[in-house]
Amino acid sequence: MPAFAAKIALGLLATAAVVAPAAAEWKPVKPVEFVVASGAGGGTDQFARLIQSIIQKHELMPVNMIVTNKGGGAGTEAFVYGKLAGADPHKLVFGTNNEWLLPLVTKSGYQPDDLRPVAAMAVDEFLLWTHKDAPYKDAAAFVAAAKEKPLQVGGSQSKDTDQILSKKIEYATDAKFTYIPFKSGGEAATQLAGAHIEANFNNPQENVGQWKGGQVRPLCVFSPQRMSYDQKVTADMSWADIPTCKEAGITVEQYQMPRTVWLNAKATDEQAAYYAGVMAKVRETQEWKEWLARTSQTDRFVTGQAFADQVKKEQAEARTLFEKAGWLVTN
């Protein structure tokens, strides 16, 4: 009996030892608002709502969450809202790399530094897609044709990720494009399926339906190595069978879009660390892994200083490119 009591005491001690630092940790005390930098139904919206449902299901936070969509100005609205939140640590903003790209090209009412990076949770790949009957058998042939005369390419929004990529390819290869901005990647996918444009740079999820249906085909992926999903998508190809654009001779080695989570810049280290911890647990769940596989996104998890450094680096690169393209504005 005494032995048993001692065990309990030991057990309690051990628990106390584990719990003690956790008790000092910051925790949200009221419902957390998930502010989404896109309209309902978009990629960023799915990202935020999936995380909400995972947190709810596995009880990873002691409070409720409310998702609000603020997609105005290509997401600017959400970041401005995050900036105006001030020191309130109960507002998380969900976006992509648009957080640090938007202020460079539009008068947007916030600076990238107004928000504090919490975590980058996955990266979405970009591919070069063309119509099934297009004469280009590979990416090299496509670029060669675009050097002869400008080709019409389409993408989602203006001066956003798709058009930035088209500029990068132009500068890297001397190809020439006429870029036509559509409202969404879905529209760009349909326009390509109907052969109204020559190519688009859609994310896997945006074009997979048309690929399966044999209306479009991928030429290359803008990633340092091939994608990892080797389950057949069409009769004879999987995502892993698509060559990288570097292999195909386009010197844009890497172009990916991170899915990101932000707090107001006034948030403390503990607060940022708390949310980064929650997101790390989200990333471990089966639901998260299934979502990545289903949408063919690449797993990558960056937090803290590493993420902040990455933001700085990518922003500097973007600034150089935008300067060359004549897109820069001062905020």
Partner 1 sequence: MFDNVPLLLHGFEIALSWHHVALMIGGVLLGILVGVLPGLGAPNGVTLLLPLTFSMDPVSAIILLTSMYWGALFGGSTTSILFNIPGEPSSVATTFDGHPMAKNGQATEALTYAFMSAGFGAMVGVIVITLLSSAVADFALKFSSPEFFAVYLLAFASFVGLGGGNPFKTIVSLTLGLAFATVGQDTISGSLRLTFGFDELLRGISFLVAVIGLFGLGELVLTMEEGLRFNAVASRISPKKVFQTIAKMPRYWFALLRGSLIGVWMGVTPGGPTAASFMSYGVARRFSRRSANFGKGEPEGVVAPETADHAAGSSAMLPMLALGIPGSATAAVMLGGLMIWGLTPGPTLFVERPDFVWGLIASMYLGNVVAVVLVLATVPLFAAILRIPFAVVAPLIVSVCFIGVWTVASAEFDLWLVLAFGVIGYLFKKLEYPIAPLVLAMVLGDKAEDAFRQSMLMSGGSLGVFFSNPLAGTLTAIALILLAWPIVAMILGRRRASAAAVAAAHVERSPS
Binding residues (CB under 8 A) for partner 1: these are 39-42, 45-46, 49-50, 52-53, 56, 68-74, 76-77, 80, 84, 105-109, 152, 157-160, 178-183, 186-187, 189-191, 193-194, 196, 205, 208-210, 212-215, 291, 294-295
What is the rounded distance in angstroms from the CA atom of residue 110 to the CA atom of residue 80?
Answer: 6
Identify which of residues 26 and 229 has a Cβ nearer to partner 1 in the complex: 229
Shortest spacing between CB 205 and partner 1, in angstroms: 7
Q: What are the φ/ψ torsions at residue 177 (nearest 5 degrees)?
A: -125, 150
Identify which of residues 186 and 246 has a Cβ nearer to partner 1 in the complex: 186
Shortest spacing between CB 115 and partner 1, in angstroms: 15
Identify which of residues 73 and 249 has a Cβ nearer to partner 1 in the complex: 73
Parallel, antiparallel or unpaired: strands 177-182 and 151-156: parallel
Q: How many CB atoms lie within 10 A of CB 223?
A: 20
Is the sign of the CA dihedral 310, 311, 316, 318 positive or negative? positive
Virtual CA dihedral for 319, 125, 82, 286, nearest 10 degrees? -150
Terminal-residue alpha carbon distance, the chain: 72
Identify which of residues 201 and 274 has a Cβ nearer to partner 1 in the complex: 201
Shortest spacing between CB 198 and partner 1, in angstroms: 11
Identify which of residues 82 and 271 has a Cβ nearer to partner 1 in the complex: 82
Q: For residue 212, what are its two tokens?
A: 């399966």
Shortest spacing between CB 176 and partner 1, in angstroms: 13
Identify which of residues 68 and 320 has a Cβ nearer to partner 1 in the complex: 68
Residue with the two structure tokens 């058998």: 137
Return the beta strands (E) in the chain as ranges. Answer: 32-36, 65-69, 91-95, 115-125, 127-131, 151-156, 177-182, 199-200, 216-221, 256-264, 298-303
Identify which of residues 157 and 254 has a Cβ nearer to partner 1 in the complex: 157
Shortest spacing between CB 101 and partner 1, in angstroms: 11
Identify which of residues 76 and 244 has a Cβ nearer to partner 1 in the complex: 76
CB 268 within 8 A of CB 26: yes
Shortest spacing between CB 255 and partner 1, in angstroms: 19
Shortest spacing between CB 280 and partner 1, in angstroms: 22
Could you tell me which of 247, 92, 255, 239 has the C-alpha nearest to residue 160?
Answer: 255
Contacts of residue 49, defined as CB under 8 A and 6 or more positions apart, other chains included, come to: 34, 36, 67
CB 38 within 8 A of CB 71: yes
Shortest spacing between CB 295 and partner 1, in angstroms: 7
